[in-house]
Amino acid sequence: MRIAALFVAALALVSCAKKEGGLAAGPDFQKQLQEALITAKPGAVIEIPEGKHILDRQISLSVPNVTIRGKGIGKSILSFATQKSGSSGVSVTAGGFTIEDLAIEDAKGDGLKINGADGVTIRRVRAEWTGGPKETNGAYGLYPVQCKNVLIEDSVVIGAADAGFYVGQSDNIIVRRNRAESNVAGIEIENSTHADVYENTATKNTGGILVFNLPDLPVQGGSYTRVYNNQVIDNNLANFAPKGNMVASVPAGTAVMVLATHHVEVFKNTIKDNGSYGVSVLSFGTTGHPVKDTKYNPYTASIYVHDNTITNNGAKPDGRVKRDLEARLGTPIPALLYDGVADPKAKPVADDAKICFQNNGDVTFANYDAGNGFKKISRDAKAHDCSLPALSAVTLPAAPAAVSAVAGGGR
């Protein structure tokens, strides 16, 4: 009788867990979770219980206005270490999406990919490859692409083989108070417009913060990005990206790189102990990659780098910085680098063409004249001692309130 009573009590506890907590930990957790994602109604909150939950395939959500919520960044863990199928751990194709207070570990591909969504909130999420930096790790940790109104905050990414925090081909973006560590690129804003990247820590990556505009992508014209109040420190990890990837050419020791984009403001950051340089502004041609996209603008313009604290950078250059610049510029490499390649059609006195460095302390500078075979290298920063109008802050619309707190779409 006692055994029977205990069994009935255990069943009652499981039933209670499903009713009050949404999902129950156990061998059928993956099935429960995917069913909850499929049957969810807009406004649902799908709760992930404490524990390390093993999933062997990608989980997907296509219902709008759904929240996935765990019990804490170190308490609710979705582990994809045995993943057999799917290009991501978690895949989302719906807007009004929020994910918070959980971890995604060892995804076969990207940790969390969100595609084509309007309204994305990623809050207190950890994406990590627990075996350390490896070429076989997934490319991206937290990865919104072709999205609008994106907020990523108070999150952590460790071990991504391309970029930890990657926002691509998107508009209206805030990335704040995050930590990127042991990735190839810590934080990357690519082919995106209107982005604020602030109060983040990028450390022990190959490159700290990258603002790119690349060819051969459906969305072009990356511009209007502010990078400010970040800690970009000790990004000297050997590059472990698979060969052929764009970031595979990022030198270890890169702090902040601005590539082939327009209207970028980099200010009030602490940039120190990065082996190749502090801030680099360059056109796409300097990368050595061919351009076949006839609609692509490879030039960088309207860049304002000011009021940063920049110390102890350039002492141990790597990659193309070492190959092309060390013998020409000496060591340490100047903290501020400009390749000198301007759009020949632009008027150099116009704000849309200026490259400005101002009030960054007692730091060295070089225009290394990459477009002319390094023939007229200049260390004189006077030509770039200018200012540009401050860019506007990004604002996001208020997210709709969740209306239920049970799995599977509520009642």
CA dihedral of residues 388, 357, 298, 160 (deg, nearest 10): -110
Q: Residues 319-347: pLDDT tens digits?
A: 999 999 999 999 999 999 999 998 888 77
Q: Considering only CA atoms, which of 214, 212, 210, 207 is closest in space to residue 239?
A: 207
Angle at 56 (CA atoms; ends 52, 59), nearest 5 degrees? 85
- For residue 285, the model assigns a pLDDT of 87
> In sequence order, which ranges of 209-265 are alpha helices (DSSP H)?
none
- Quick one: how far is CA 253 from the chain centroid? 18
> Which two tokens mark 156?
């952590």
> Which two tokens mark 322?
């070492």
Angle at 225 (CA atoms; ends 224, 228), nearest 5 degrees? 140
Cis peptide before 397 (omega within 30 of 0): no
Q: Residues 90-149: pLDDT tens digits?
A: 999 999 999 999 999 999 999 999 999 999 999 999 999 999 999 999 999 999 999 999
Q: Give backbone dihedrals phi and psi of 74, rounded to 5 degrees, phi first.
A: -110, 5
Q: Residues 291-320: pLDDT tens digits?
A: 888 889 999 999 999 999 999 999 999 999
